[in-house]
Amino acid sequence: MLDVQVRPAFLFRVHDDGAFEHLGAWPAHVLVGADFLARADGRRVVLGDGLLTFRCTNGGARYALSASIEPGLHQGRLVESWVG
């Protein structure tokens, strides 16, 4: 039996002013670490009300978070994305 796991990656370009530009498509499901969530800056990465939001120069996305079976990780399900 072959077990294949695809782990989507967020690909960003960081501009000189610190702004994010998202490269590629937003994955439908992601795993994010508690250490990453602790560093949400409230401007580019926003955490609140069980949602993780990415704000980029070319759009953004919002993920609904829930606990993962893996310690220190949270599951994210894409609930909204936008361009612009």
d(CA 25, CA 62): 13
Q: Does residue 36 belong to any structural domain of this protein?
A: yes
Report pLDDT for 57. Answer: 95
Q: What is the CA radius of gyration of the chain?
A: 13
Q: Does residue 4 belong to any structural domain of this protein?
A: no
Using one digit for the tens of pLDDT, what is the confidence trace for 4-44?
A: 455 667 788 999 998 999 998 999 999 899 999 999 999 99
Using one digit for the tens of pLDDT, what is the confidence trace for 33-84?
A: 999 999 999 999 999 999 999 999 999 999 999 988 888 899 999 999 999 8
The total number of structural domains in the chain stands at 1
| Nearest CA-CA partner of 41 in 55, 27, 28, 30 | 55
Report pLDDT for 4. Answer: 47
Q: Does residue 1 belong to any structural domain of this protein?
A: no
Residue 46, domain extent: 11-83
